[in-house]
Structure 1
Amino acid sequence: MQDEAWDEEQKHFQAVLKAWSDYLPYSLHVNNGRRQSLYALPQAHQALLQGLQAPVPVPINGVPVQRGFRAKLNEIDDRIRRNADVLEQMAHFCRSFLGILDESQLAEGANSASNKVSERDQDRVRTAIKQMARDWGAQGAAERARVYQPIIEAVVRRRPPSHTEPVRVLVPGAGLGRLAFDFAQQGYCTQGNEFSYFMLIPAHFLLNCTQVVHEHTLFPYVHSGSNWHTSSDMLQPVRVPDVLPSTLDENSDFSMVAGEFLEVYGKEEERGAWDVVATCYFIDTAKNVLRYLEVINAVLPIGGLWVNAGPLLWHFEHEPDTSVELTLEEVLELLPHFGFKLEEQRILEPQTYTGIPNSMLSHQYTPVFWVGRKVRDQGRAPVV
């Protein structure tokens, strides 16, 4: 069984790297569809679009300003290629990630017709690029502050970092690791946990393969032509990371752990191992949030803190898997049953998540924020 699980892990990792490597042809193909739509127009309409005087930004200083719709499509191709260069660096660096995959396996997988990358996986790649802008770009600083800062401040007030008795903070659903990194910068012993390789690969790359601030340039917003004021907005660059991970104090205890939260932290050795659990946009990733509550209770000692912020966008609501969707009122009612006493609860200001600067469209959440203190142990319900 262990060998079978390892084989499945290899296949999963291989599929994600395949999605990374297919980003370039897939995205260029999509942009070429825009050209085909242009060429399908009447000649008079093509001439009008080509005669547009709105400037199209070019990436190299000294190049004359380009104008016209075809010039914009050419510049989109350029940004896609530049994104692909960073993704290829990322894939190359991470092919030995966890010792799962070698080059021959990747080549074999790439040549397999059954490994065709789905639109869903390509969307995950595009989401990962936007997530890098949110978590590790200066453009994402304001968005991060609206939700990360309340979490960090709540922990600092109640359990300030200590050199004599280290405070251990667990960040489940850590994504690209920025919140966990920020806790480590504050002086906490911090561990981030993430399940998705679409997040783990860029997190591993940015945390371990970065020599200077702003080393990598991405263009996260070129994949949709809708709701832009200008071409410059659509083609804007984001340079990551905005802080150098290696600047952490050499004595810092900071790690990222790959794996599904319930499996990794539901083990007996994790019982009472963490002083604080910090969850951000995480609890709605559960198929059964009550299991999450059981494990969060288990990893904390009596008096331990659970700080949470996020909406309730239940990720599996429209999937064939079993999923239980609860209202905020129902979740809050459950907390005492799972051994938590609320010390603070409020609704945070409206905020975006991987929002697009200068877009004409904005989706906003009004996340709930709470601080719960564990007051008693709660056992786990038996598996059906």
Structure 2
Amino acid sequence: MSSPSSKSSVVMAPNSPRDITPSQDTEETRSGAGDLETRSWSGDFDPLADPAERRVLFAAFDSFRQYRRTAHMNTTHRRRQAFWALPSAHSEILSEPPFSVMDNFNRVDDAIDINADIADAIVAAGLESFGLSPNPDPEDPDNNWHGVATSSDVNKAHSTIRQFYRDWSEEGQTERDVCYTPVLKDLRKEFSERLATGENIRVLVPGAGLGRLVFEICRAGFGAEGNEISYHQLLASSWILNHTPGPKSYRLFPFALHFSNIQSRKQQLQRFLIPDVHPGATMLKAQKNLDIPFGTMSMAAADFVVLYSNPSQRSAFNAVATVFFIDTAPNLIRYIEAIRNCLKPGGLWINVGPLLWHFEDGHQRTHSGASDNAPNRGIGEPGNVELTEEEVYHLVQRMGFTFEEIQHTKDRPEVGYIQDPNSMLRSLYRPVHWIARKNPQ
């Protein structure tokens, strides 16, 4: 975040099931903390007190608020205009069965409204957590979060809603099996005996996104801390973990807004239910297992490099799990330095993911408070470099790690990212899975 030592802890512990709507649930119980009640957002850094952070947070709120309007405008409104611009004889043909193009636009509009219910629920839960009004005074710039989102912010809101398919639907399990299951297997293999003795094994998950991997690691009995810089992801993950009233309580149409490479309208309007498992109910069920109780869970809202390079985080974790994360680094050396700092000597670094370098185009990073004038640390640091897989291995070893396992190229499964399996165009990754151990100091 803006300050190198800033850390806002988002309490991601799922609450007990209650007969309430998401927007009514304003307090959560921290897993493993008995009857401790706490607000969703806490810590030594208040984003509302920092103008730059407040601006980014408000833009995230506003982008979810605008989901309904922008999705209708950019998806069906402009397509209706283009459709009626066709020669009348042609539009008449396509208005009739089996095409019924205009009827399909209406069905897509219905799907957009259902998706927008999720976006609205995220806003309502987040506003209550921060004590903000849903109808702010437009004359009060410190509290008016309406009308501040850019087109980039809105695009992030749209992609975040789609991401619930990957992380919190039954059908997304195929993608999760490739990316999350290897991490859980590695953790169990390394630490199961120590877990059985009651030791608190702490695992850091940078780039935690919508919190599913953090949740699954806690479900396996570990103490997990997620880290995320994006307020879009933080608000959405807090909602899904803390505010959903039950399993499969929300409908999601992740592919409805896309009109290319589809075989049928039925495919375009596939409906999925989220969350596939209810976090609160799952936690209570797991707590009955005395051998492996549900682990503690938290989320740190901060720049990964800035926070975990801090001396206060030195040797704080037994393991770090990076999943589809290391290629978000402008400068991978900074990430490795932070991982080395926060890992205990002999600790494990588990990685799963490709190398789609996010800043290959050279654009300056400015999200979540980082600016062009940011200090020479964190995501806002100027400069970037892209490395090959072989170069990554050399760099990791040079910086104090020893590889214990690297998945052979021929054994790497292909996996999409929020990929419709029936699409006529499939973008697939072949993520590598490797394990490195921090050398004893």
Query: Where does residue 309 of structure 1 map in the other structure?
Result: 352
Q: Does 1:288 align with 2:322?
A: no
Superposed CA deviations along residues 343-369 of structure 1, whole A, max 9, x for unmatched, are: 000142111111123211110111111
1:102 deviates by 4.1
Counterpart pick for 1:344 among 363, 383, 405: 405
Point out the more displaced range, 111-120 or 132-141. 111-120
Structure 1 residue ranges without an equivalent (≥5)? 55-67, 378-384
1:39 deviates by 0.5
8 Å Cα contact 1:14-1:109 kept in structure 2:
no
Q: Secondary structure at the match of 1:19?
A: helix
Q: Does 1:330 align with 2:391?
A: yes
Q: For 1:45 and 1:119, locate their aligned partners in 2 and report how far apart those are by CA, in whole Å.
A: 34
Query: Where does residue 70 of structure 1 map in the other structure?
Result: 102
Superposed CA deviations along residues 189-247 of structure 1, whole A, max 9, x for unmatched, are: 11111110111111000000022100111111122211111111111112110011112
1:26 deviates by 1.1
Q: Secondary structure at the match of 2:345?
A: coil
State the structure with bigger RCO (CA 8 A, min sep 6), 1 or 2: 2
Q: For 2:142 and 2:54, locate their aligned partners in 1 and report how far apart those are by CA, in whole Å.
A: 14
Structure 2 residue ranges without an equivalent (≥5)? 4-45, 288-293, 365-382
1:147 deviates by 1.4
8 Å Cα contact 2:401-2:437 kept in structure 1:
yes
1:320 deviates by 2.6
Q: For 1:85 and 1:38, locate their aligned partners in 2 and report how far apart those are by CA, in whole Å.
A: 28
Mapping for residues 79-228 of structure 1, pairs under 5 Å = 79-97=111-129, 99=130, 101-103=132-134, 105=136, 115=147, 117-160=149-192, 161-228=195-262
8 Å Cα contact 2:166-2:418 kept in structure 1:
yes
For the aligned residue pairs, the C-alpha RMSD in angstroms reads 2.3
Give 2:61's aligned amino acid: L
TM-score by length of structure 2 reads 0.78
Q: Does 1:239 align with 2:273?
A: yes
Identity within the alignment, %: 35
Query: Where does residue 360 of structure 1 map in the other structure?
Result: 424
1:90 deviates by 1.2
8 Å Cα contact 1:10-1:100 kept in structure 2:
no
Structure with greater helix percent: 1
Query: Where does residue 97 of structure 2 map in the other structure?
Result: 52
The count of residues paired between Structure 1 and Structure 2 equals 363
Q: Secondary structure at the match of 1:117?
A: coil
Counterpart pick for 1:27 among 71, 74, 83: 71
Q: For 1:80 and 1:337, locate their aligned partners in 2 and report how far apart those are by CA, in whole Å.
A: 50
Q: For 1:364 and 1:208, locate their aligned partners in 2 and report how far apart those are by CA, in whole Å.
A: 32
Q: For 1:82 and 1:145, locate their aligned partners in 2 and report how far apart those are by CA, in whole Å.
A: 27
Q: Tell me: CA distance 1:27–1:104, structure 2 relative to 1, closer, same or farther (3 Å).
A: closer
Query: Where does residue 372 of structure 1 map in the other structure?
Result: 436
Q: Secondary structure at the match of 1:95?
A: helix
8 Å Cα contact 1:126-1:220 kept in structure 2:
no
Q: Secondary structure at the match of 2:317?
A: coil
Query: Where does residue 29 of structure 2 map in the other structure?
Result: none
